Structure 1
C-alpha cells in the first residue's frame, strides 16, 4: 500500500482557480466515498482551505491513482484536465509523507508558522474517520503528523513572533507597557482590522474598552463582543485621556492632530500613551511622534516589525525541517518494524520446513533408532536451527531502529526468496484501528 497526495496551493495556482476547486464541507462525505470507489484506492482524505486543495489517498498503484484523482478533480469541478494539470503537484511515498508533515507544521503555509492549518488538517482527518475513508495507513500517519507539528511549535520559535498587523500591534503594546492587564483601550473604527486587533487585545485582561465608529450601532455591536462601551464618534476625543492604548482604522482621514494630542497628554499628566494608526490615509498626525511619552506606530512601522519577525520565523524553520526529518525516520522505523514481523515468520517457516523434511528423510534411513533416540535427533535439529537463526532474527527485530533495517529486510527477502503473504481480509477486519496492514509500502 502506498500513500500519495495530489493538489494545488497558493504557490502553484491563483486564487481564481483555487476558489473554483474548493470542496464545500457539506459535500465532503460524498466526495470521499467517490474517491474510495476508484480502482485501487482504499483510503481518502480532503484538505480544502482558501490556500490549498489537496486529496490524500492510500493506493496499491500510486501512479495510476494520481492520474485518476487528477481526472476526478477536473470532472467534479467542470474543468478541462489540461487546464488543471500545470497547477497540480503529485507526491507519493516518502515525499508525500514529508509534504504532509510540512503542511501540518505550517512550513508550507502562506504565513509561516500560522496555527490554523493544523486545526484544518485535524478536521479533515476527523471527516475521513467519520466517513470510514480513513484506515490503517491514515490512522498511523496522521497522528504522527500531529506529533511532528506539536514538536515544531514547542521546540522552535516559529510561532513566537507576530506576523499579522493586528497581533504585531498587541506585541508592540506589550513591549511599551510590559503588562497589559488593567490598561484601558479605545478603538476608533469598527472594521475587520479593528475587530482582529480587539480580539487579540481581549486576551490580555484589559481594563475598560471604549469603541467608537461613525455608525454608532456598529460600535455598539463591537463593544458588546468584547465587554466594552460604545461612545459617539463626534465625542470620542473627549474620552482619549482615559485610554492607554488607542487603535485607529477609519476612512475619515486626519482625526488627531499634534496639538490635540499634546493637550490629551497634559490631561493624562504625561502618563505613557500608545497609538496604533493602521488607517490609509492615516488618522493620526505623524508629527505626534515627537511628543514625550506618546508612542505612535503606523501601518509601515507595523509592516517593518512583521518583516523582522518573519526573518526570525524563517530561521526557526531550519530547525523545524530537522524535526520533520526526525519524525519521518521514526515513522519509517515503525514501518520497517511492521514489515519485519511477517518476514521473521516467513523465514522461520521456510527453515522449519527444510529441517522437518530433512529430519524425516534421515530418520527414515535410521529405522534401528528407538523413540527416545528419535526425539533426541528432533531436539538436536531444532536446537541447531534456533542457534543459526538467533542472530539474523535479532537483527530483523531491530529493523525499525535505523535506516539500515530496510537494507537487511530487503537482503533477507532476496537471499531466501521470501514473499511474506499479506493478512487476509478477515484478519484485517479484526485488527485494531491503530495497527496498519502488513503490506504497507510508503
Structure 2
C-alpha cells in the first residue's frame, strides 16, 4: 500500500500488527468469535470473514493450511456462540429498545409501529422489529420524501409530520429519533389520544438527543416512555454479562488452538514418514502372521525367508514415496503433499 500510494511506511506503523504461529491461530479464532470486536458478541465480523474466505477459494488463493484454519475457525465461532451467552442480551441502543418492548407486550408480533424521524437509529430499530414480526409501520419525517423512501423499504406508510397525533391512536409503539431542539410530543397531546385507545398500552422509545418525547407522558395510564439514558443502563449491564461469558469463550478458543497445533505438527515431513512406514509395516505384519498360521508345515528357515521378503517389499514400496516427501515433491508448498499423503493412507 505504501509503495502503490507513495506514502511513507512509517505512517502505517501505528496501525499494523503481526502475529505468528499459535498467536496467529488464536487471533483468528478470537476475531471470528467476536472477542476482538469493539462490542463483544456482535456477529457481523464472522460474516465478513466467511465472505473473504469465499472469495479466496474462488480465486484459488487459499491453500491446505488456510483452508483447515478457516474451517476450524467457523466451527469454533459457532461453538462459542452456542455454548456461551456471549451473544445474549442487547448491547446496542436500538436492540435494547426492542427488548424493552417485548417485556411490556410479551410478544411484538402484529404490533403497529410509528417511526418519528427517519435516521439511522430508527432504521436499525425497525430492522429488529421486523425480525420480531411486527405489523404495520408508519413513518413520519419532516422531509416527507425521505419518509416515503423509508416507508417503501419496510412496506409501510408515510405520513406528514402534522398528522402524528391523529395516527398515534392506532399504533402500539412509537420510536422517535429526530433532530428537533424541543419536544415533538407533549403530555397534553398524548392524553387526548389515549382516550380513543380504550386503555391499550402505548410504548414510546425516545432515542433522540435532546429528547423528543415529553417525560411527563410517563404519568399517563398505560403510556410508557423510555429515553436513551434508560437504554444505556440496560446496554451497560448486558455488556458486563457478555464480558463474563467471554472468559468461557476464551477457554474454548485455547482448546481449539491446541488442537490446531497438533494437526499442524503432523505436517512435518519426519512424523508423516514415520506414520506412513508404521502403517504399512503394521499391515504387512498382520497379513504375514495370518499367512504363516496356515503354513505350520514350513521349516523355520523358510518362514524367516518369507519374513525377509515381506520386509524387503515394504522397503521397496515405501522407497519412492519417502524420497518424494523428503525432497523431490516438497520443494514448493510441502503442506499440500504431506496433507494428501496423510489423507491417502488415512494416517490420522
Task: Indicate the TM-score class for this superposition, using the shorter chain for normalisation.
Answer: 0.7 to 0.9
Give the equivalent residue in structure 1 for 2:61: 133
CA distance change for structure 1 residues 105 and 189 in 2, over 3 Å: closer, same or farther? same
CA distance change for structure 1 residues 86 and 231 in 2, over 3 Å: closer, same or farther? closer
Q: Does the CA-based 8 Å contact 1:111-1:163 persist in structure 2?
A: yes
Structural mapping, 1:63-212, within 5 Å: 73-212=1-140
CA distance in 2, matches of 1:298, 1:118: 31
Structural mapping, 1:38-437, within 5 Å: 73-252=1-180, 253-339=182-268, 340-345=271-276, 374-378=301-305, 421=326, 424=329, 435=340
420-429 or 228-237, which moves further after superposition?
Answer: 420-429
CA distance in 1, matches of 2:308, 2:15: 63
Unaligned residue ranges in structure 1 (runs of 5+): 1-72, 351-370, 385-419
Deviations along 1:346-370, one digit per CA (max 9) or x if unpaired, are 67999xxxxxxxxxxxxxxxxxxxx
CA distance in 2, matches of 1:346, 1:422: 17
CA distance change for structure 1 residues 349 and 245 in 2, over 3 Å: closer, same or farther? closer
Deviations along 1:269-324, one digit per CA (max 9) or x if unpaired, are 22211100111111111122222221111111111111111111111111111111
Unaligned residue ranges in structure 2 (runs of 5+): 282-297, 312-324, 344-348
CA distance change for structure 1 residues 171 and 349 in 2, over 3 Å: closer, same or farther? closer
Q: How many residues align?
A: 312
CA distance in 1, matches of 2:341, 2:56: 16
Q: Does the CA-based 8 Å contact 2:330-2:337 persist in structure 1?
A: no
CA distance in 1, matches of 2:120, 2:128: 13
- Per-residue deviation at 1:254? 0.9
- Per-residue deviation at 1:425? 5.4
CA distance change for structure 1 residues 377 and 280 in 2, over 3 Å: closer, same or farther? same
Q: Residue 90 of structure 1: SS of its match in structure 2? A: coil
- Per-residue deviation at 1:168? 1.1
CA distance in 2, matches of 1:276, 1:382: 85
Q: Does the CA-based 8 Å contact 1:135-1:433 persist in structure 2?
A: no
CA distance change for structure 1 residues 434 and 173 in 2, over 3 Å: closer, same or farther? farther
CA distance change for structure 1 residues 191 and 424 in 2, over 3 Å: closer, same or farther? same
CA distance change for structure 1 residues 91 and 436 in 2, over 3 Å: closer, same or farther? farther
Q: Residue 323 of structure 1: SS of its match in structure 2? A: helix
Q: Residue 246 of structure 1: SS of its match in structure 2? A: strand
Q: Does the CA-based 8 Å contact 1:277-1:283 persist in structure 2?
A: yes
TM-score, normalised on structure 1? 0.64
TM-score, normalised on structure 2? 0.80
Q: Does the CA-based 8 Å contact 1:139-1:436 persist in structure 2?
A: no
| Alignment RMSD | 3.2
